[in-house]
Structure 1
Amino acid sequence: MLAEPSRSAKDSIPLFEAFGVEVEYMIVHENSLDVAPIADQLLRDEEGNPSEEIERGDIAWSNELALHVVELKTNGPVDSLVGLAARFQANVNDVNERLGSIGARLMPSAMHPWMRPDVEMKLWPHGHNEVYEAFNVIFNCCGHGWANLQSCHLNLPFDGDEEFGRLHAAIRLLLPILPALTASSPVCERQLTLHLDHRLETYRHNADRIPQVAGVVIPEGFYTEHDYRQFVLEPIYQAMAPLDLAGVLRHEWVNSRGAIARFMRNTIEIRVMDVQEHPAADVAICQLVANVAKALTEETWCSVAAQQQAETLRLRDIFLNVVDNADETMIIDPDYLQFFGWDQGICTAGDLWRSLAQRFPVEEKPLRDALDTILSEGPLSRRIVTALEDNLLERLPIVYRELCDCLQEGRSFRPAELNVR
């Protein structure tokens, strides 16, 4: 029997008529910038007890698996992304004000640069934490792929199988090049890694014990709820059953692909985006991604039928290259480029995004400014590497303290400005 029946059609929202955004941040000690596993001191209900979620109007704060991580998210779907960055920024400042009273603050970027999860990881211990305990028993969450990764999730709705098929096809095509915009994790345990998006490199291996859970990160090409349940979800549930006897993890969210179907709320959740240095950058990326996804679903450059034929392993190969080199990755697959109307020969992933951003500009000036920084100076990972120069150990705390300041002040990280401070 398949788990979690879908919502009724009356609850469904048509394509691109609503959005859900989630952003995750690390809590760190103010002085040392070491991770501070104190999310339960921040997330308190009116009686002062630890709470898994605090609602603050249209934004909610919630816990994550790791006790040093807090998630800010839209409190349900929102009709528009306009104005959302400012509301997230106000909540970031509120969180920082509360944390400041106990000697802590928020740190952005997708990986802490010197955290050692084998000794510093602490699971959220309150409420319905049996899910976290189950994950820990099966996968050992004291590794970077579980304990040290912060992302931005974009949820896009669909109404019925036809819209699901269109949206899933579009998102599969976008996933391989998203790290070219969003990579923010070049450092791990005080060393530059071989991947500008090291979060995704660790993420894609975090469930290696049960390969069905993440697949190859790029989701397979199934375009109806029935097929997705039968060929994606059921193999996960069956593979996990001997290790999850209580069925705690038999839910669609256990699927760890880079985008997952959430039939309980009729959305697809995009998971491959590293979190940025301030909310305007995250929301700008979400707006651009939604605009391009909408164009794909509307067959702007090619038919949905053609999009649905895209081979998973070819998409994976592009994705892995972009995980390594981000915006400077050369895309040499002409068939892939044609999905986006690019007919000028090979190009970099950055070139492709710059052309798409010109065609689909974001609406608000703060978002445009944030996106312009990414497109002109590179994703946050590249800017971090530039700022570290040739003296990584000395400059790591300087650079990451500046990133904390960028988050608090709502501005983009620019290495040239750091060097004159």
Structure 2
Amino acid sequence: MSTKPVTLHLFEGYGVEMEYMIVDRDTLQVRPITDQLIYDEVGAYVSDVEFGKMAWSNELVLHVVELKTQSPAHTLLGLENDFQEHVRKINQLLEKHNAMLLPTGAHPLMDPFKETKLWPHEHNAVYEAYNRIFDCRGHGWANLQSTHLNLPFGDDEEFGKLHAAIRMVLPLIPALAASSPVLDGKASGLLDTRLEVYRKNQGRIPAIAGKVVPEPVFTQKDYEEQILNRMYEAVAPHDPEGVLQEEFLNSRGAIARFDRSAIEIRIIDIQESPVADLAVLQAVVAAIQALIAERWVGIDKLKQWDENRLSDLFLQVVRSGQEVVINDRDFIDCFGFDCKDNCTVGELWKHLVAETLNLEEQPHVAHALNVILSRGCLSKRIVEAMGENPTEQDIKRVYLSLSRCLQNGDVFIPEKPC
């Protein structure tokens, strides 16, 4: 007899997923052996391996493995320890292959047109459909790793509030989370290069990603009519078998998953270690909670924001992170920040963290967030460590240090490499 899933209301559960690359320990070249890793653990080529509270799963490409909470966690507190334990377990299994996990949102040296291998086992039909339509060999498919955050809603009213608040916070997230400053062996000039290629990877069918910041829709009916159905119609001529007519096709920066009563935030670049990821997640959640509680303005005011206006700010933050100056006084007012004329995104985040987050009982998370707010996002620290015109040797030196941060659960500081 099947039991009906328990309905979770706002902030009663947190689903967290983290994607890591598998690379050679010496050269950092990507190693497409996620299936071998899973086989070594369970003796079969399956797409999911469960370990009580935690699970591993495959991704589209064979050099990426995802670690995730098996079911929603009741709290984010201490979750970094569960992820860290599994990072070390996987690294131990990869030793015999002379491989290891590498963090950050994009591999700095990978040539996706030569090195991409797709997952060939379970659920391959979906991946083949994507590949046929979009050609998944580019960076926007084969070289982007993120941390996903799933937040539940209990009914349509809660969905509307959650979607309204998330839309406002989305443009600010890359200022904390950007970790992809290098592609093809060159500093791109953007702090979040992953999001730049991500937003363009389905350019053939613009309805799939939209403006990344979702449209202002706040009921399931409106969402299905204005976002999902338009997207399904647009992809249908390219997908005769109907393999992609599912909610997962949606590639906006936050997507409604009505099949699991949650909204999934997808624009968080993965950090150098789980403690840094949890620092970002807690800051993001605290800001969303404050908006839903109408701490500064009413929800109705948040619902009036057009996606184009929010997307303009988002694109600036993708490029320049915390240094972006917000000239839109109405936006600043939504967060109750009393600054003169204008403020930077970094100043706004410092205000939000001070107003909404108490990390006294989490000193390691507090340290990680303090580094992000005082020294900049991981991308900024990577560029500082390797220089703006790095050699391949400079890049490898810094990213080998980042792999040690991941193994040790440390935060990356340029002058004190892990």
TM-score range, shorter chain: over 0.9
> Residues of 1 paired with 2:116 and 2:16: CA distance?
26
Aligned to 2:72: 77
> Residues of 2 paired with 1:390 and 1:359: CA distance?
35
Aligned to 2:268: 273
Aligned to 2:355: 359
Instruction: State the shift of 1:343 in Å.
Output: 2.6
Letter in 2 for 1:249: L
- What pairs with 1:398-413 in structure 2 (closer than 5 Å)? 398-413=397-412
Contact 1:45/1:54 (8 A) holds in 2:
no
Instruction: State the shift of 1:362 in Å.
Output: 4.6
Aligned to 1:337: 332
1:300 partner SS: coil
> Residues of 2 paired with 1:349 and 1:47: CA distance?
46
Aligned to 1:211: 206
Change (3 A) 1:147 1:289: same
> Residues of 2 paired with 1:130 and 1:43: CA distance?
20
Aligned to 1:3: none
Contact 2:141/2:201 (8 A) holds in 1:
yes
Letter in 2 for 1:292: A
Aligned residue pairs: how many?
412
> Residues of 2 paired with 1:249 and 1:45: CA distance?
31
> Residues of 2 paired with 1:141 and 1:281: CA distance?
29
- What pairs with 1:6-405 in structure 2 (closer than 5 Å)? 11-44=6-39, 48-344=43-339, 345-363=341-359, 364-389=362-387, 392-393=390-391, 394-405=393-404
> Residues of 2 paired with 1:402 and 1:300: CA distance?
41
Instruction: State the shift of 1:10 in Å.
Output: 6.8
Instruction: State the shift of 1:101 in Å.
Output: 1.6
More deviation in 124-133 or 354-363?
354-363
Letter in 1 for 2:352: L
> Residues of 1 paired with 2:381 and 2:162: CA distance?
32
2:97 partner SS: coil
Contact 1:43/1:51 (8 A) holds in 2:
yes
Contact 2:148/2:268 (8 A) holds in 1:
yes
1:178 partner SS: helix
> Residues of 1 paired with 2:300 and 2:357: CA distance?
27
Letter in 2 for 1:385: V
> Residues of 1 paired with 2:21 and 2:342: CA distance?
38
More deviation in 389-398 or 183-192?
389-398
Letter in 1 for 2:146: S
Deviations 1:90-118 (A, max 9, x none): 11000100011211000000000010100
Q: TM-score, normalised by structure 2?
A: 0.97
2:245 partner SS: coil
Divergent runs of 4+, >6 A: none
> Residues of 1 paired with 2:189 and 2:5: CA distance?
48
Contact 1:134/1:249 (8 A) holds in 2:
yes
Letter in 2 for 1:382: K
Deviations 1:103-162 (A, max 9, x none): 100000000001010010000000121000000000000000000000001100001110
Deviations 1:32-60 (A, max 9, x none): 10100110011128761111011111110
Deviations 1:177-219 (A, max 9, x none): 1000000000000011021100000000000000000001000
5+ residue gaps in structure 2?
A: none
Change (3 A) 1:9 1:314: farther
Change (3 A) 1:47 1:17: closer
Contact 2:190/2:320 (8 A) holds in 1:
yes
Instruction: State the shift of 1:366 in Å.
Output: 1.1
2:149 partner SS: strand
Letter in 2 for 1:258: G
Contact 1:24/1:152 (8 A) holds in 2:
yes
> Residues of 1 paired with 2:283 and 2:12: CA distance?
15
> Residues of 2 paired with 1:46 and 1:295: CA distance?
42
Instruction: State the shift of 1:390 in Å.
Output: 5.3
Change (3 A) 1:108 1:65: same
1:416 partner SS: coil
Instruction: State the shift of 1:277 in Å.
Output: 0.1
5+ residue gaps in structure 1?
A: 1-7
Contact 1:60/1:72 (8 A) holds in 2:
yes
Contact 1:288/1:362 (8 A) holds in 2:
no
> Residues of 1 paired with 2:175 and 2:42: CA distance?
44
Change (3 A) 1:47 1:178: closer
Contact 1:361/1:368 (8 A) holds in 2:
no
Aligned to 2:414: 415
Letter in 2 for 1:358: A
Instruction: State the shift of 1:12 in Å.
Output: 2.2
> Residues of 2 paired with 1:390 and 1:306: CA distance?
41
CA RMSD of aligned residues (A): 1.4
> Residues of 2 paired with 1:305 and 1:18: CA distance?
25
> Residues of 1 paired with 2:42 and 2:406: CA distance?
30
2:165 partner SS: helix
